[in-house]
């Protein structure tokens, strides 16, 4: 079977590993860089070609994969004389960012008028799994669009779930991140109280590890407070704040109360407000501890 030509925008922490899996598994790949040239040059060395603008990319591919920060960045890629829409081609666009579902639905409807099909396919797990090709993907879109996207998604994922219509992937991703960031906030506060009462991190871990409160998230999160491994859980506090803010927006649109979500969001809002937005989520332990010293 002839592989479709793939464009990839956003070859950062997650995107580089995803794009690398595509090009090394035989997909014709065009990439577009941003600030960091190293991943682009690595992918070009592996056989990818580089496009300078979204429009240039759209003119030479069949499918575009987006792995950028969120809704504003996704929307911007379609706009203006150099945007994806300007090429005037019927593309399949796979949005792997974590975005606001309401924005995704509006954008998908607008793009459909131009013959562009948008599906949302946000990611679970970390850059290590992106490199290994074992990410989790939550994909929202029609059955036809999902069937077309599935072989591409399977090139960098170990688990792909069709969550339902367009927008459902981003909704499920927000729920997933609410749970994971909720764990982060809980662990950070628990570790702060443990520290103030003389319970060491090692003792805390000895009780949690292997018990019912252990999980894959804890195992990467704990590498910071146990081993000071800064690379163990590469997801920024600003992204955590963004995603919990999107969840709050969704809950408001549904007319639903989410008091636990508000508390979790406030934990990350405090961290970002104190200037720690570019640091990774496990640093929340240190931030909460410092805020409670007296």
C-alpha–C-alpha distance, residues 112 and 93, integer Å: 11
Residue 88 burial (CB count, 10 A): 12
Q: Dihedral of the CA atoms 289, 193, 189, 201 (nearest 10)?
A: 80
User: Any idea which residue has 């974590």 for tokens?
Assistant: 98
∠ CA(69), CA(246), CA(213), 5° rounding? 95
**What is the residue extent of each domain of the chain?**
6-165, 171-291
Which one, of 134, 141, 147, lies nearest residue 172 by Cα? Answer: 141
CATH code at 6-165: 3.40.50.720
Q: Right CATH number for 171-291 from 3.30.70.141, 3.30.70.20, 1.10.1040.10, 3.20.20.60?
A: 1.10.1040.10
The tens place of each residue's pLDDT in the chain, 294 residues long, gives 689 999 999 999 899 999 999 999 999 999 997 778 899 999 999 999 999 999 999 999 999 999 999 999 999 999 999 999 999 999 999 999 999 999 999 999 999 999 999 999 999 998 999 999 999 999 999 999 999 999 999 999 999 999 999 999 999 999 999 999 999 999 999 999 999 999 999 999 999 999 999 999 999 999 999 999 998 888 999 999 999 999 999 999 999 999 999 999 999 999 999 999 999 999 999 999 999 986
At 230-284, the pLDDT tens digits run 988 889 999 999 999 999 999 999 999 999 999 999 999 999 999 999 999 999 9
Distance from C-alpha of 61 to C-alpha of 79, rounded to nearest angstrom: 18
The residues annotated as belonging to the active site are 173
| pLDDT for 13 | 87
- Distance, CA of 97 to CA of 65 (rounded, Å): 10
Position 34 scores a pLDDT of 73
């Amino acid at each position: 079977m002839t592989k479709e030509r793939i464009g990839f925008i956003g070859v950062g922490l997650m995107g580089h590993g995803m794009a690398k899996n595509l090009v090394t598994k035989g997909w014709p790949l065009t990439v577009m860089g941003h600030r960091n040239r190293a991943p682009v040059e690595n992918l070009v060395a592996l056989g990818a070609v580089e496009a300078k603008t979204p429009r240039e990319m759209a003119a030479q591919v069949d499918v575009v994969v987006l792995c950028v920060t969120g809704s504003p960045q996704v929307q911007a890629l379609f706009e203006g004389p150099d945007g994806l829409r300007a090429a005037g081609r019927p593309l399949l666009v796979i949005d792997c960012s974590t975005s606001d579902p309401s924005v995704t639905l509006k954008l998908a409807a607008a793009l459909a008028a131009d013959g562009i099909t948008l599906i949302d396919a946000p990611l679970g797990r970390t850059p290590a799994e992106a490199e290994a090709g074992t990410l989790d993907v939550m994909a929202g879109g029609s059955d036809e669009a999902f069937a077309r996207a599935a072989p591409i998604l399977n090139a960098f994922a170990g688990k792909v779930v069709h969550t339902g219509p367009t927008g459902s992937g981003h909704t499920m991703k927000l729920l997933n991140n609410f749970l994971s960031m909720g764990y982060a906030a809980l662990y950070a506060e628990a570790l702060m109280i443990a520290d103030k009462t003389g319970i060491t991190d090692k003792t805390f871990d000895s009780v949690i590890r292997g018990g019912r409160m252990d999980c894959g998230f804890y195992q990467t999160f704990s590498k910071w407070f146990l081993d000071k491994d800064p690379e163990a859980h590469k997801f920024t506090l600003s992204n955590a704040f963004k995603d919990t803010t999107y969840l709050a927006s969704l809950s408001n649109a549904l007319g639903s109360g989410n008091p636990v979500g508000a508390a979790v969001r406030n934990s990350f809002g405090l961290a970002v407000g104190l200037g720690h937005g570019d640091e990774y989520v496990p640093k929340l332990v240190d931030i909460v501890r410092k805020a409670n010293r007296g």
